[in-house]
């Protein structure tokens, strides 16, 4: 993987190299590492409906965001 490529190209390349099982392992809050691709384990929990994220930055909304149709 070439770090000099734009982020979008690197992401496409990374996903292309992943097996189906590796892709599935990334669909949870606490994603497992993929050592052969040098992808570390990470936790990306968030709850967008309530404006809450767990990366240290928090914003709380007084109610759910909805759009009247």
pLDDT in tens, 29-64: 788 999 999 999 988 765 555 555 555 555 555 555
* pTM attached to this predicted model: 0.62
> Given this model, what pLDDT does residue 1 score?
74
CB 31 within 8 A of CB 42: yes
69 vs 37 pLDDT, higher one: 37
In this prediction, residue 9 has a pLDDT band, given cuts at 50, 70 and 90, of very high
- Please tell me the distance from the alpha carbon of residue 32 to that of residue 23, in angstroms, as a whole number: 10
Q: How much is the pLDDT for 22? A: 96
């Amino acid at each position: 993987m070439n770090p000099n490529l734009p982020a979008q190209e690197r992401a496409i390349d990374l996903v292309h190299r992943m097996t189906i099982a590796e892709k599935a392992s990334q669909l949870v809050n606490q994603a497992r590492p993929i050592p052969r691709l040098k992808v570390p384990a990470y936790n990306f929990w968030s709850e967008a409906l309530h404006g809450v994220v767990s990366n240290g930055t928090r914003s709380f909304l007084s109610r759910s965001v909805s759009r009247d149709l």
